[in-house]
């Protein structure tokens, strides 16, 4: 081996070359900013099947481009909320995690565990290009941005997926209004032995009656999809605001049971429960079980969201019932072109940055890198040719078992590919849900109630709702007597306090917006 | 043996023969008298046994029944149609074997350490040594009443002990169960003091007394401790969830919990494959149960003799 020695001339030449390379842009801005190490993301679910190979490929690119690498810690969904909260509380070292209002985001923000990202997006052009201004505005709390919203569509509207083959068998064409849907339910009950018309699920009680802006069995909300619900925290009491709040400046919140449409919906659910239109075990059965039963042909309809995933069930359904077909029934009673339901555009999922153990620049550099289609496809779908192949411009044929929880790190509505087996009916709905102009922004769109002043009352109310409101949402109790119990329990839990605080905060929000 | 050197009289012979004739009759009578009770006992125990076994069999049958049949018609006694899909899914990757290895390490090493430490501590407490036993008793008793909480435990293991991604992070936090320390103390206090005194007179030191006299006499309680600890370590999933982030180090219980969660969520993701969308949920849960309870279920019959005896001895003596 040759005895290689660096003399002064060599050293100066190397230093000069490195300096020139840096000055000429050979080093990325991230490296110039001194980003290094590993950006650890805490994610729900489990590592995808080919994750190591994908991560290796991604890290080679990330290292070259930004000077750091990515790693992920996966925690299964059942334990994610508690574990993520523990990591934030203990000041563990990680950059980003999935958070949401339905997890612990409000609490973490109030405790100072989340980094403030306001004004940071301007530094990251790829990321900024993928986040719509309306989305950004609606997910800014009191002028501050606490997370990067992760959405694959502009709006989220819950609706029905129905067995279109059964509908056509019994003389129904395309179902588009509540009365026809109800007739379909009763026809199935009468003529299809062993099939329950609709499947209730345990962890989604309020969606059947309380509007956001529609509820599954709230016929009034189908005709007037202009009301959103707001609550302090968790599974607590849902308030509805006055429809003329924007003009009067007074929010006048009422508990959901003071809304006529909600009460009518509760009576419908009770009727459906008694008539066997819905499953009797709705309060106990989980989503996975119901989906499995739907795919086995035990239900004629199921819950759906405008996220383009309902058609996934068709594969297994057709394995069991080859002639089965699915269609979406939107809760409006009008064509999609004739309705502009309200939306808050608040993202269900946010990527937040750990204020105590994370690096904001590195976290945003990663988000920026993931906003480039090639990088986004690599992490979300795996290695092209091995894990997936493109189908058309924006479609995908998955070739392996690779499944990444994109909603927790890199959902960008403009970059998402569509499953090759998405039905035409769902494509129509999904396309409609991509456009912000198809919706009306709610008056209280970016209002996030602060639970701090009423924490004790909110906790007591949570218990009252679980004990006394849930039986109403599943139709298992007589509506009038159960409502009396609920109202008494709510009064005892501090309804007045919660209502007054909600009104105070909502009115202040209106004033600040004016 | 009893007739050697013994010449019974005639009357004695008659009496003996009468007695010997009466005994089988009485035995037969007793036998007849006990028959209905025995029969009822057998029937009752058999029915009770069936009540215990049928649910287990239903789980096994369910794990072998096709998902669509399970979802459509519910449980059945015989797997119809027969399907191994869930087991194929479970054994399709290397992770399950790695999980078995991790669980075995945690269970074997953890149980050995736990039994050794619990036995040692209990022996010192049981000896009633001045200035030592009482403080140790109090020290062992406090954790039965109070717990430091999750966050301090997390900080201790991850930041003070730096045991993240180590199997010892699973073993150490649950290595000593105060309840079992006191069970062992109760047992040790029943050992005859004379045996220990005799050993001491023969020149044995404290360690020799403990290892060569006390432990061999304490097999029942050691078996109880081992079984309790082994079951705890085998079923442990929460500590791995807290402290293990490397999937290659996950024990079986955590892998299986993740798997069922992943199957459900993977099927709901946009772009899910046909196989993901068709993954069994019911069947997988049953197969998972069979795989996890299997090994520990097999261990019970072998340790049952010690288990029952040890529990009784430990529990009844104060």
Residues of B within 8 A of A380 (CB-CB) are: 271
pLDDT of residue B7: 41
Report the residue from B242, B264, B270 with minimal CB separation from A152: B270
pLDDT of residue B11: 46
Statement: residue A101 has pLDDT above 80: yes
Statement: residue A20 has pLDDT above 90: no
Q: Which of B244, B249, B277, B280 to mutate to test the interface with A (most CBs of A within 10 A)?
A: B277
Q: Of all residues in chain A, what percent are helix, strand and coil, respectively (each to 5)? A: 45, 15, 40
Report how far residue B42's alpha carbon sits from residue B94's, in angstroms, rounded to the nearest whole number.
46
Higher pLDDT pick, B145 / A477: A477
User: Å from A379 to nearest chain B CA?
Assistant: 13
pLDDT of residue A27: 43
Report the share of chain A in percent with pLDDT over 70: 93
Number of CB atoms found within 10 A of residue A434's CB: 17
pLDDT of residue B4: 38
Report how far residue A179's alpha carbon sits from residue A162's, in angstroms, rounded to the nearest whole number.
15
CB contact under 8 A, B67 and A307: no
Across all residues in chain A, what is the average pLDDT? 89
Mean predicted confidence (pLDDT) in B151-166: 92
Cα Rg of chain B (Å, integer): 29
| Tens digits of residue pLDDT in A369-395 | 999 999 999 999 999 999 999 988 788
Structure tokens at B115: 């039994």
For residue A50, give the chain B residue with the closest CA.
B93
Q: What is the largest CA-CA distance in chain B?
A: 102
Band (pLDDT 50/70/90 cuts) for residue B288 is: confident
Give yes or no for a contact between A124 and A365, defined as CB atoms under 8 angstroms apart.
yes
Report how far residue B116's alpha carbon sits from residue B129's, in angstroms, rounded to the nearest whole number.
20
Report the residue from B276, B280, B281 with minimal CB separation from A403: B276
| Tens digits of residue pLDDT in A110-150 | 889 999 999 999 999 999 999 999 899 889 988 899 999 99
pLDDT of residue B3: 37
For residue A83, give the chain B residue with the closest CA.
B242
CB contact under 8 A, A49 and B93: yes
CB contact under 8 A, A416 and B258: no
For residue A387, give the chain B residue with the closest CA.
B273
| Tens digits of residue pLDDT in A261-318 | 999 999 999 999 999 999 999 998 888 788 888 988 999 999 999 988 888 888 889 9
| Tens digits of residue pLDDT in B84-114 | 988 887 787 667 788 889 999 999 999 999 9
For residue B273, give the chain A residue with the closest CA.
A398
A93 interface with B at CB cutoff 8 Å = no
Cα distances (Å, whole numbers) of residue B2 to B19, B110, B255 = 16, 57, 69
Report the residue from B241, B258, B271 with minimal CB separation from A398: B271
User: Å from B277 to nearest chain A CA?
Assistant: 6
Mean predicted confidence (pLDDT) in A33-44: 88
- Stretch among A24-38, A217-231, A417-431 having the lowest mean pLDDT: A24-38
| Tens digits of residue pLDDT in B165-221 | 999 999 999 999 999 999 999 999 988 888 889 999 999 898 999 999 999 999 889
User: Å from B153 to nearest chain A CA?
Assistant: 10
| Tens digits of residue pLDDT in A46-92 | 788 789 999 999 999 999 999 999 999 988 887 888 899 999 988 88
**Any bridge partners for residue A73, and if so which?**
A42
Structure tokens at B163: 């045991």
| Tens digits of residue pLDDT in B225-250 | 998 899 899 989 899 999 998 888 99
The residues, any chain, with a CB within 8 Å of residue A417's CB and separated by 6 or more, are A377, A381, A390, A394, A395, A396, B270, B271
**Any bridge partners for residue A327, and if so which?**
A162
pLDDT of residue A14: 52
Mean predicted confidence (pLDDT) in B56-75: 86
CB contact under 8 A, B154 and A403: no
Give yes or no for a contact between B251 and B168, defined as CB atoms under 8 angstroms apart.
no
User: Å from A418 to nearest chain B CA?
Assistant: 6
Residues of A within 8 A of B162 (CB-CB) are: none
Statement: residue A23 has pLDDT above 50: no
DSSP of A288-323: HHHHHHHHTT-BSEEEE-TTS-TTHHHHHHHHHSTT
Report the residue from B68, B257, B277 with minimal CB separation from A296: B68
Residues of B within 8 A of A381 (CB-CB) are: 271
ipTM: 0.70
User: Å from A420 to nearest chain B CA?
Assistant: 7
Rounded to two decimals, the pTM is 0.76
pLDDT of residue B318: 41
For residue A305, give the chain B residue with the closest CA.
B268
pLDDT of residue A255: 96
pLDDT of residue B201: 92
**Any bridge partners for residue B98, and if so which?**
none
Residues of B within 8 A of A46 (CB-CB) are: 247, 258-259, 261-262
pLDDT of residue B131: 87
CB contact under 8 A, B271 and A46: no
CB contact under 8 A, B272 and A77: no
A296 interface with B at CB cutoff 8 Å = yes
Structure tokens at A214: 């529609």
State the DSSP H helix or E strand holding residue A145, giving kind and residue range, or none if neither. Answer: strand A144-145
């Amino acid at each position: 081996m040759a005895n290689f020695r660096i003399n002064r001339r060599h050293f100066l030449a190397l230093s000069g070359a490195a300096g020139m390379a840096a000055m000429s842009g050979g080093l990325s801005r991230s490296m110039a900013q001194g980003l290094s190490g590993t950006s650890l993301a805490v994610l729900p679910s489990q590592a995808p099947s080919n994750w190591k190979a994908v991560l290796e490929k991604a890290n080679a690119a990330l290292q070259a481009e930004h000077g750091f690498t990515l790693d992920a810690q996966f925690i299964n969904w059942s334990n994610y909320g508690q574990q993520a909260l523990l990591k934030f509380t203990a000041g563990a070292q990680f950059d980003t995690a999935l958070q949401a209002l339905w997890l612990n985001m409000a609490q973490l923000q109030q405790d100072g565990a989340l980094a403030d990202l306001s004004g940071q997006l301007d530094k990251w052009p790829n990321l900024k290009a993928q986040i719509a201004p309306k989305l950004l505005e609606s997910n800014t709390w009191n002028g501050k941005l606490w997370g990067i919203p992760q959405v694959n569509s502009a709006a989220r509207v819950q609706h029905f997926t129905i067995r279109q083959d059964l509908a056509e068998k019994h003389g129904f064409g395309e179902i588009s209004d509540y009365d026809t849907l109800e007739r379909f339910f009763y026809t199935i009950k009468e003529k299809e032995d062993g099939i329950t018309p609709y499947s209730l699920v345990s962890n989604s009680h309020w969606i059947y009656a309380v509007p956001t802006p529609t509820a599954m069995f709230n016929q009034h909300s189908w005709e007037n999809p202009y009301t959103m619900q707001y609550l302090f925290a968790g599974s607590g009491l849902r308030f509805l605001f006055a429809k003329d709040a924007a003009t009067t400046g007074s929010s006048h919140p009422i508990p959901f049971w003071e809304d006529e449409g909600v009460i009518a919906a509760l009576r419908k659910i009770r009727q459906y429960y008694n008539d066997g239109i819905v499953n009797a075990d709705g309060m106990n059965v989980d989503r996975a079980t119901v989906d499995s039963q739907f795919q086995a042909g035990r239900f004629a309809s199921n819950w759906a969201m405008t996220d383009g995933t309902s058609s996934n069930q068709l594969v297994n359904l057709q394995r069991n019932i080859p002639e089965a077909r699915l269609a979406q029934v939107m809760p409006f009673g009008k064509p999609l072109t004739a309705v502009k339901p309200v939306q808050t555009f608040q993202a269900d999922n946010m990527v937040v940055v750990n204020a105590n153990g994370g690096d904001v620049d590195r976290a945003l550099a990663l988000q920026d890198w993931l906003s480039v289609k090639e990088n986004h496809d690599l992490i979300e779908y795996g290695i092209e040719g091995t894990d997936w192949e493109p189908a058309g411009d924006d479609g995908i044929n998955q070739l392996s078992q690779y499944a990444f929880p994109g909603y927790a790190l890199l959902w960008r509505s403009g970059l998402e590919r569509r499953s090759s087996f998405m039905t035409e009916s769902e494509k129509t709905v999904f396309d409609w849900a991509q456009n912000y102009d198809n919706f009306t922004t709610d008056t209280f769109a970016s209002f996030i109630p602060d639970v701090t002043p009423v924490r004790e009352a909110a906790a007591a109310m949570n218990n009252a709702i679980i004990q006394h409101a849930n039986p109403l949402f599943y139709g298992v109790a007589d509506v009038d007597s159960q409502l009396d119990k609920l109202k008494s329990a709510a009064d005892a839990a501090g309804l007045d306090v919660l209502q007054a605080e909600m009104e105070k905060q909502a009115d202040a929000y209106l004033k600040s917006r004016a | 043996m009893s007739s050697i050197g013994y010449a019974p009289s005639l009357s004695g012979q008659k009496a003996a023969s009468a007695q010997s004739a009466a005994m089988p009759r009485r035995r037969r009578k007793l036998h007849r008298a006990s028959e209905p009770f025995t029969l009822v006992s057998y029937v009752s125990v058999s029915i009770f046994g069936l009540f215990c076994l049928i649910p287990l069999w239903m789980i096994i049958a369910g794990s072998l029944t096709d998902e669509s049949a399970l979802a459509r018609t519910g449980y059945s006694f015989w797997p119809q149609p027969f399907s191994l899909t869930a087991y194929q899914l479970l054994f399709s990757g290397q992770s399950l074997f790695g999980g078995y290895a991790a669980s075995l390490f945690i269970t074997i090493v953890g149980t050995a350490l736990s039994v050794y430490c619990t036995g040692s501590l209990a022996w010192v407490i049981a000896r009633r040594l001045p200035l030592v036993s009482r403080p140790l008793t109090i020290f062992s008793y406090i954790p039965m009443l109070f717990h430091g909480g999750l966050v301090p435990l997390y900080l201790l293991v991850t930041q003070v002990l730096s045991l993240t991604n180590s199997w010892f992070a699973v073993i150490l936090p649950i290595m000593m169960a105060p309840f079992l320390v006191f069970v062992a103390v109760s047992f040790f206090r029943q050992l005859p003091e004379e045996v220990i005194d005799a050993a001491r007179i023969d020149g044995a030191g404290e360690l020799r007394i403990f290892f060569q006299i006390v432990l061999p006499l304490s097999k029942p309680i050691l078996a109880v401790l081992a079984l309790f600890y082994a079951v705890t370590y085998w079923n442990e999933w929460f500590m791995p969830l807290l402290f293990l982030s490397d999937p290659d180090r996950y024990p079986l219980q955590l892998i299986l919990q993740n798997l069922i969660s992943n199957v459900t969520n993977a099927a709901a993701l946009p772009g899910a494959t046909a196989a993901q969308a068709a993954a069994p949920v019911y069947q997988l849960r049953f197969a998972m149960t069979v795989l996890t309870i299997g090994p520990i279920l097999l261990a019970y019959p072998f340790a049952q003799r010690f288990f029952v005896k040890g529990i009784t001895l430990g529990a009844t003596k104060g």
